[in-house]
A and B are shown apart, each in its own frame.
Chain A
Amino acid sequence: MEKRGVPDLATEVEATPSKDDGGVSDSNRAITEADDTDLLEGNENQNILHHRDLPDTGREAEEEAAAHGDSHQISKATDVQSSGQKDLSEIDRKAKDLSLESRDLSVDSSIAIGNRDMENQSSDGRNSLEKNDQEKMEEQSSDDAEFAILDRDPEDMKETVEQETLDSKDEEHSDKENEFSIVNKESTGASADDTDRDLSDLGHDRCDHEHMNVLVLRPVDLFANGGNVQLSQAFYRRKARRIQEILSGDPVDVNELRQLSISQGGLLNAEFRQRVWPLILNVNVNNIAPKPDEEVLKGHKDYSQVVMDVNRSIKRFPPGMEENHRLSLQDKLVNVIMRVLVRHPELHYYQGFHDICVTFLLVVDEDLAFALVEKLSQGHLRDFMARTMVNTQLLLEYVPCIIRRANPELLTYLEGAELGSVFCVSWLLTWFGHVLNDIASILRIFDFFIACHPKMPVYVMSAIILHRKREIFATIQEMASQFKLLSKVSDTLPFEHLLSYAGDLYLQYPPSTLAEEALERFTRGQEKAAEHRAKMVARLKERKLPDGNMTFTKVTCWMLGAVVSVAAYALYTGMELDWNSWIPHG
């Protein structure tokens, strides 16, 4: 049960330190389970991992059984992939044949097909899957049209999703697709009756939440969309109800919250984020380290750098915000950053850290923002805050490893352009806060990252690059052109889909399977740089040599000249050179 088919847990444990041991094991278990399952909301893989829903219905036995099925299934999936890229390229070919319409949707169809292929190759896993679905169907007593889709044969569902994928020309997910994934999630807990009651309890639509938000006005509410992702009302209400339910549980089921944070729509709004983020990150809101004296903060070596960066990060605040309000928030932002740095001398400030901190500060108050960021900086962000950027550079090398596995031709093309990985360093260091403009998308991505494995950002980065393969192939194979194309991340990308795709990639190629290759790539890069540097130093020396000789010659000439002049003068004046007279007597 502990291992759950994802081999990189050991690193995970280290990466998420927490105060008490219970917390450690708890949160790690949560991460594992989350990793295994709900990443896949919104596409077929959800089916593979349906068992996750079972514990909620209280079926302990099934949970055990399903857990085995799960790890088996995942390892199968990995085997299928690692047995060669053949399968994937095959999938890609099929996808190309099928998706004639929109380039951006080819990825969707390839996933759908890919999953089917994997399932077909693992018939026993498939059986357990169908069994799970069967049980699910028995539970369904809903006549809700949205639920009906679940009652259909899984094979049919696949067709539907594929069809939808192909039919929709829009980049955004169709509502139907959204509903499909909601159904999977929603059906886990409340029955249909409950759901109906929930809806009436909740009020009528999300305006309800907007009201709640108005009570405690947060900076994020000043954005046009209030930081809320566009979702269908029915979905929003249902998910909000679910989160509310879990939050009022005693004890609160943090694992479930974590999954909701990962699954479609994330935590929906600022109010939930404020309550759920601390729970997921195991932050005790009643025990936040007090702010040290202003002088202590100002005395830190990075203080002036932080102030400079915060002062010019105006872009991250709501456009309509009053200047005074913004200035006071910027002061708070400096405080948040400095409090982390002062409390943790082992952590180093990097340009981009402020982009992470400001995202939190838009949603929660200074104290909580500090506590959340402090926790993250010891886990998820630790590599970025090391003394040097070596760990960050190493992490960046995971991206080509993932792309090579998912689409070898694409990596060959990018490597041919000598693109490198610097173009996406800001994505990683700021969790997309620096490159995206839409706060709703940023917050949604934060929900996802907070609840996932610390290396998840490299999977999302890879998913974005893989998603844009058509554009990449259509652009000249040259570094600057590719850099220009890829370094900007459009706010209109289908992020829900990309996060789910990143989850797929994570399951197919877990970090442990990439570590060796990433290190090798990194080392190769370093060696190449060292080689170049040695060459440059040698050339510099070559150039300096004549200069040095010239100086030597000049100095020698001058000295000789001086000696000769003195001698000539002495001869001319008939001066007696009595060296003894130079020594003071007495």
Chain B
Amino acid sequence: MCEPIFEYQFRLILIGDSTVGKSSILRYFTDGKFEDACDPTVGVDFYARLMEVKPGVRVKLQIWDTAGQERFRSITRSYYRNSVGVIIVYDITKRSTFENLKQWYEEARNHIEPHKAIFLVLGHKSDKEDGRQVTAREGRRFAEMHGLKFFETSAKTGQNIEESFSQIAKDTYQHLQDGHIRLEDGWDGVKPGFARPRETVHLAEGEGESGGCC
């Protein structure tokens, strides 16, 4: 098997209410598959994929999928610290999940290293236009108000899934280039890839495109 080559590894975390489709997004992103029914996440799941942030530069996205039920927050909280990016997901067909966005945003901001975090808001299930309860404009307005990037996505049609992750990967990479984010010992949000001699051993572990649960 050809060893994957990547320059950096970015750790992201997916949060949002239960049943908004977090796991579906990740399954589509890592496997290209969509299932109508996706098992509830119990605790935390792990996904990984390589992505090109500019021609010739690949990064490994390591994404932590979290259970949406509130009682699991005490467990998932520990995953914020070592993340560089947070993706907050709501369901465009369920207003309450949009109304909880702010709460999720606060939760993440309170637990993540503030100057390092890169946020992305996703209005999910955009294929279900009939059941829409939140307009794209509302979603965008929330994101802009807080200075975050926004996409409407669908794991069924694949709409904007690739673009969303590409966006957060590119933004992170850019922050890294600009010096807003630095590699730090004891922080795993961004880690060097294979290029650093000390990390050569990473090769053994990164085995490519897939990952994830089920």
Contact = CB atoms under 8 A, between A and B. Distances in A.
A536 B40 contact: no
A47 interface: no
Interface string B66-108: 0111011011111101100000000000000000000000000
Contacts of B188: 479
Contact of B205 (A311, A481, A533): A481
A393 B75 contact: yes
A425 B38 contact: no
A425 B42 contact: yes
Contact of B39 (A313, A350, A540): A313
A525 B127 CA distance: 42
Given A389-B75, A476-B202, A305 B42 contact: no
A487 B45 contact: yes
Interface string A287-318: 00000000000000000010011011111000
A555 B74 CA distance: 40
Given A312-B37, A420-B78, A537-B110, A351 B72 contact: yes
Interface residues of B, number: 43
A478 interface: yes
Contacts of B149: none
B75 A422 contact: yes
Nearest to B211: A484
Interface string A453-476: 000000000000000000000011
Nearest to A422: B44
A484 B46 contact: yes
- Which of the four size classes fits the interface of chain A? 35 or more
Given A351-B41, A426-B42, A475 B74 contact: no
A283 B48 CA distance: 46
B110 A540 contact: yes
Contacts of B202: 476
Contact of B74 (A352, A388, A543): A388
Given A351-B67, A420-B78, A540-B114, A312 B205 contact: no
B39 A312 contact: yes
A98 interface: no
A539 B42 contact: no
Interface string B193-213: 000000001101100000101
B192 to A, nearest CB: 13
Interface string A362-394: 000000000000000000000000001110010
Nearest to A477: B201
B72 to A, nearest CB: 7
Given A481-B205, A483-B46, A425 B75 contact: yes
Contacts of B44: 422-423, 425
Contacts of A550: none
B113 interface: yes
Given A312-B37, A434-B39, A536-B112, A487 B71 contact: no
B69 A350 contact: yes
Nearest to A542: B114
Interface in B3-22: 11, 18-19
Given A388-B74, A389-B71, A422-B78, A312 B114 contact: no
Nearest to B60: A480
A52 B55 CA distance: 71
A313 B41 CA distance: 10
A69 B112 CA distance: 56
Contacts of A106: none
Nearest to B73: A389
A487 B64 CA distance: 13
A532 interface: yes
A481 B205 CA distance: 7
Contact of B19 (A312, A434, A480): A312
B43 interface: yes
Nearest to A485: B205
Given A312-B40, A423-B44, A529 B77 contact: yes
Given A352-B40, A476-B205, 12 more contacts: A308-B19, A313-B37, A313-B40, A314-B37, A351-B42, A422-B43, A422-B78, A425-B43, A484-B46, A532-B111, A536-B112, A540-B109
29 contacts: A305-B18, A305-B69, A308-B40, A312-B19, A312-B38, A313-B40, A315-B214, A348-B71, A389-B72, A389-B74, A393-B75, A422-B78, A426-B42, A429-B43, A434-B39, A434-B42, A480-B48, A480-B62, A481-B205, A484-B211, A487-B45, A487-B213, A529-B78, A536-B111, A536-B113, A536-B114, A539-B115, A540-B114, A543-B114
The 7 closest A-B pairs by CB, nearest first: A426-B42, A425-B43, A312-B37, A352-B42, A481-B205, A308-B19, A314-B37
